[in-house]
Structure 1
Amino acid sequence: MPEETSDFLPGKRSRPGSVSLPERVRSPWWQLSRRLLLATAILVGTVLLVYVDRHGYRDTAHPHRPLTLIDAVYYTTVTLSTTGYGDIAPVAEHARLINAFVITPARIGFLVLLIGTTLEVLATRGRELIRVSRWRKKMGHHVVVVGYGTKGRSAVETLLRKGHDREDIVVVDPSSTALADAHADGLAVVSGDATRREVLNRAGVGKADQIIITTDRDDSNVLATLTVRQLNPDAWIVSAVREHENAPLMKQSGADSVITSSDAVGRLLGLSSVSPTLGAVMEDLLTYGAGLEVAERDLMVGEVGKQPQQLADQVIAVVRDEKVFRYYDPVVTTLSRGDRLIVVRPAKELPWAPRPGTHGEEFAAADES
């Protein structure tokens, strides 16, 4: 995302690896127009003020003639620009007071507007450095998403719907388009190539709990996974690959979970072709927020000792001792404390389909022994 830092102004590029936080900004044309209007208002207002009080001024070239409108324009421009030739000067006391308490502040405002662009750039840069510093201090136990294309955006959307805060998600991507999309979604962005250690360090990979790697190239995903694993041996890494034959290599690189995008899409296309209804159900399971969803939840006290088929949720797998067993496996015929359930349930609770674990029930934690 080498296009800009905080303001996202056209043509303004950020350094590779720089941190860019989302910020509401206005069009540069809007800001320029506003400054021009303010400068014009000061200029016109001062001209009118001098012209109305023209009898309080004296022109050394024509000492007995009142100031004309052209004289007022001339005096205003040389005064506001601090040129001050001195050929026209206030002689009346009230004119001098007006110059001291009205025209002098107007002159200062006019000069600030003239150098406003430079001042704003400096102020924006300083403000951005402060914001990034505060962000770094709060950063930890967050999620890093490498690549903000279609898969990355879908992953972030799922995380947000599952309760993650936007402040706890950091995007790493070198694309200016991804930068704009991530900022529009209110996400912090680290601009640069995720295969470089310094870029990943800026994203706080060493303190992250989870890293999702989903670029468009399998070789980049493998190298990013290797680098991430070196920086953070304990993080949970989920990586995507386009081709199935690259999945074992991704596992060897340190990924805890590997998703083969081409195979998944191909299977869904095949299912929809062979059995449109089955394809519709699979699409329903993959669509968050409506219909059915696949979820993982803790076992509750009232469910200990039961069979998976006896629970209110449709159990499809049981996680025991970090291993996943299908619901019909003899090992999990009877549910025990510490088990976790992979279930299919309504995406939203319905009166006739309550969702266990959401009404203050006590969970069955593993025995301390």
Structure 2
Amino acid sequence: MVRRLRSSKDEDSASEPQRQVLLPRPDVSPILQVVRRLLAAFAVLWITVLLVYLDRGGYVDDVDHHVSFLDCLYYTTVTLSTTGYGDIAPGSDSARLVNTLLITPLRVLFLIILIGTTLEALTDRTRQQWRLSRWRSALRDHTVVVGFGTKGRSATQTLLSTGLGRNQVVVIDSHTHVVKAANAEGFAGVEGDGTRSEVLVRAEVQRAKQIVIAPQRDDTSVLVTLTARQLNPRIKIVAAVREEENAPLLRQSGADAVITSASAAGRLLGLAMLSPYASTVMEDLIQQGTGLDLKERPVTKAEAGHAPRDCADLVVSVVRGHRILPFDDPEAAKLQLTDRVVVIHRASHTTPEPGERRGEFR
């Protein structure tokens, strides 16, 4: 049985980590950020100097009544820094118009660049909310991964090898450093307890296509499964448990598929002892994208009505309704168009040319 469930709803929520959605960001060096701001500030400075120099005839210098390029540079620096000594001032209407329409906005832009770090800190929350809003509006039929440990990370890599985009994966974990590690790999992350509905809602489980549940504890898997099924009755749930005795409970909770990690690893260990090469082949089969792949696909129109051995791929099983039929089962002697088949083929599999032997790998 499951060892421990959450005891009550009146737990001290203050002891839980802050729940938030973290989106991946481009990693920019602080030195590069400073250099960019300095270059932008110098660009604004020299644009303003050019504007003043081109209209230098409209400015008045109280010292020598002549505005040189150095005077333009001097005037620009004291103007952009809002010092304004007043010894050089726009005298003509055109110069004052240029100051109003161009130099004043440049002054504001210059100050914004100089205090960019402070302004960025003040506006970071607003920008984060805007990014979250845009992310939520675009998120549909995605995959949620609860628990980004060894099992969750391996499951994610397998999904990526089948063509799933990183922007279609949302990771949920209660540890901040794990969520940040997922961000570094390009995944959106939600920090919090996956057994709580508000955390799953932040990951948009109600609009997700599938969810991988791979926490460290079996009781957590059960609670996440129950909550996810309640929020989205149509979602596909694949869950992992350590103990085989907890697998039936997970299926009763709504999991479509349950993987027992401890017994699966034990079987591979036993197979490696009895037949080392067979265990190597098994490891190759469950590692998508390289060597041999184990894949489930629908029966094509050309295959309907034929025997499984007539298929181009090597058929292992036939899925008919909710039943799994071995390839040599009499009921699977003829494939139906509504069937699905579990096949073995190369990762770079292509359709055999006419005349090639069926079941062979190229």
Give the TM-score normalised by the residue count of structure 1.
0.73
The question of 1:26 aligning with 2:24 is answered no
Q: Per-residue deviation at 1:213?
A: 0.7
Is the Cα contact below 8 Å between 1:58 and 1:91 reproduced in 2?
no
- Distance in 2 (CA, whole Å) between partners of 1:334 and 1:102 is 79
- Distance in 1 (CA, whole Å) between partners of 2:135 and 2:298 is 33
- Distance in 2 (CA, whole Å) between partners of 1:20 and 1:355 is 49
Map residues 1-369 of structure 1 onto 2, 5 A cutoff: 16-36=18-38, 38-39=40-41, 79-84=79-84, 86=86, 88-90=87-89, 100=99, 107-121=107-121, 124-349=124-349
Is the Cα contact below 8 Å between 1:349 and 1:355 reproduced in 2?
no
Is the Cα contact below 8 Å between 1:297 and 1:342 reproduced in 2?
yes
Identical-residue share of aligned pairs (%): 49
Is the Cα contact below 8 Å between 1:345 and 1:355 reproduced in 2?
no
Q: Cα distance 1:83–1:311, how it changes in 2: closer, same or farther (>3 A)?
A: closer
Q: Cα distance 1:308–1:107, how it changes in 2: closer, same or farther (>3 A)?
A: closer
1:122-176 deviation digits (Å, cap 9, x = unpaired): 5554444333223323333332121223322332232233343444332222334
Q: Per-residue deviation at 1:104?
A: 5.0
The residue matched to 2:343 in structure 1 has which SS?
strand
Q: Per-residue deviation at 1:79?
A: 4.3
- Distance in 2 (CA, whole Å) between partners of 1:317 and 1:304 is 15
Q: What RMSD over aligned residues (CA atoms) do the two structures have, in Å?
A: 4.1
1:165-207 deviation digits (Å, cap 9, x = unpaired): 4443322223344334433443332232211111111112122
Q: Mean Cα displacement is larger for which, 98-107 or 293-302? A: 98-107
Amino acid at match of 1:108: V
- Distance in 1 (CA, whole Å) between partners of 2:140 and 2:301 is 33
2:7 aligns with none
Q: Mean Cα displacement is larger for which, 146-155 or 36-45? A: 36-45
Q: Mean Cα displacement is larger for which, 75-84 or 97-106? A: 97-106
2:10 aligns with none
The residue matched to 2:148 in structure 1 has which SS?
coil
Is the Cα contact below 8 Å between 2:162 and 2:288 reproduced in 1?
no
Q: Per-residue deviation at 1:43?
A: 7.3
- Distance in 2 (CA, whole Å) between partners of 1:92 and 1:299 is 84
The residue matched to 1:342 in structure 2 has which SS?
strand
Q: Cα distance 1:168–1:107, how it changes in 2: closer, same or farther (>3 A)?
A: closer
Amino acid at match of 2:257: S
Q: Cα distance 1:326–1:80, how it changes in 2: closer, same or farther (>3 A)?
A: same
Q: Mean Cα displacement is larger for which, 290-299 or 150-159? A: 150-159
- Distance in 2 (CA, whole Å) between partners of 1:298 and 1:189 is 33
Q: Mean Cα displacement is larger for which, 278-287 or 161-170? A: 161-170
- Distance in 1 (CA, whole Å) between partners of 2:184 and 2:90 is 58
Amino acid at match of 1:21: L
- Distance in 2 (CA, whole Å) between partners of 1:132 and 1:262 is 38
The residue matched to 2:132 in structure 1 has which SS?
helix
Is the Cα contact below 8 Å between 1:237 and 1:256 reproduced in 2?
yes
Q: Per-residue deviation at 1:102?
A: 8.2
Q: Per-residue deviation at 1:18?
A: 2.8
Q: Cα distance 1:258–1:36, how it changes in 2: closer, same or farther (>3 A)?
A: same
1:337-358 deviation digits (Å, cap 9, x = unpaired): 42211111222225577999xx
- Distance in 2 (CA, whole Å) between partners of 1:354 and 1:97 is 86
Name structure 1 gaps, 5 residues minimum: 1-14, 357-369
Q: Cα distance 1:91–1:258, how it changes in 2: closer, same or farther (>3 A)?
A: closer
Is the Cα contact below 8 Å between 1:212 and 1:238 reproduced in 2?
yes
1:236-256 deviation digits (Å, cap 9, x = unpaired): 210111233332332233212
Give the TM-score normalised by the residue count of structure 2.
0.74
Q: Per-residue deviation at 1:34?
A: 3.3
